[in-house]
Amino acid sequence: KQEVTQIPAALSVPEGENLVLNCSFTDSAIYNLQWFRQDPGKGLTSLLLIQSSQREQTSGRLNASLDKSSGRSTLYIAASQPGDSATYLCAVKGYWAAGNKLTFGGGTRVLVKP
Amino acid sequence: DGGITQSPKYLFRKEGQNVTLSCEQNLNHDAMYWYRQDPGQGLRLIYYSQIVNDFQKGDIAEGYSVSREKKESFPLTVTSAQKNPTAFYLCASSIDLAGGETQYFGPGTRLLVL
């Protein structure tokens, strides 16, 4: 059974510092991995989706890497801003998962202090 | 504007009562999903549907029921059999089930027990 873990559960950084968020998964047979952002009391917004054949994806200040063999993904957010404060969740789709089923980590709650 | 709407934003349930959460999408997506999120935790899949009049149980379907009579609508009923219904409920949709494309999320409904 796939398990997804995100450590730390919470993170506080001063504005301008780079953010590094970690995600690990137990079963390397994944179809893809996604990073989502969730603001308090809101739904999820997809940030980046990495297919199993890719090593990384970039969008603006965001860069996500994927290392299937070690079961890890890292989300980098460059030059953090107070507007980046949110909870970030990673989710994996197993290669044999039925129904586009995603397994989510517990999230990392980020606070960027001005 | 294309997107997913959920109503109500807050819902209160009395003991022994069934309540229904609404989810509507105008993205012309075939697949729809219901997730439950507990504080500080990731999302867990309740039910999913890949096409009208078809739906499948997810990981935590007990105490819940769904219907898919129209492509754009996927209501979730929390029955009295669900003993711990207090949670944040998120509806999502995707183009289909097979490709692993990203899922788009609604704003959520918070269910509280009186």
At A39-61, the pLDDT tens digits run: 998 999 999 999 999 999 999 99
Residue pair A107/A22 in contact (Cβ under 8 Å)? The answer is: no
Does the structure show a pLDDT above 80 at A95?
Answer: no
Contacts with B98 from chain A: Cβ below 8 Å = 100
Contacting residues for A93 by C-beta, under 8 A, at least 6 apart: A30, A31, A32, A33, A34, A100, A101, A102, A103, B100
Q: Give residue A5's pLDDT band: very low, low, confident or very high (50, 70, 90).
A: very high
Q: Give residue B48's pLDDT band: very low, low, confident or very high (50, 70, 90).
A: very high
Q: Whole-angstrom Cα distance, residue A95 to residue A107?
A: 22
Instruction: Identify the CA nearest to B49 among candidates B21, B64, B63, B69.
Output: B69
Does the structure show a pLDDT above 90 at B46?
Answer: yes
Q: Give residue B101's pLDDT band: very low, low, confident or very high (50, 70, 90).
A: confident
Contacts with A45 from chain B: Cβ below 8 Å = 105
Q: Give residue B39's pLDDT band: very low, low, confident or very high (50, 70, 90).
A: confident
Q: What is the pLDDT of residue B99?
A: 65
- Which residues, in sequence order, are bridge partners of residue A30? A94
Q: What is the pLDDT of residue B102?
A: 86
In order, the DSSP letters of B75-90 are -EEE-TT-S---EEEE
Mean pLDDT for chain A? 93
Q: Give residue A96's pLDDT band: very low, low, confident or very high (50, 70, 90).
A: low
Q: Give residue B100's pLDDT band: very low, low, confident or very high (50, 70, 90).
A: low
Q: Give residue B12's pLDDT band: very low, low, confident or very high (50, 70, 90).
A: very high
Tell me which residues of chain A have a C-beta less than 8 Å from any C-beta of chain B.
Answer: 4, 9, 31-32, 34, 36, 41-46, 49, 51, 89, 91, 93, 98-107
Q: How far is A52 from chain B (nearest CA, A)?
A: 11
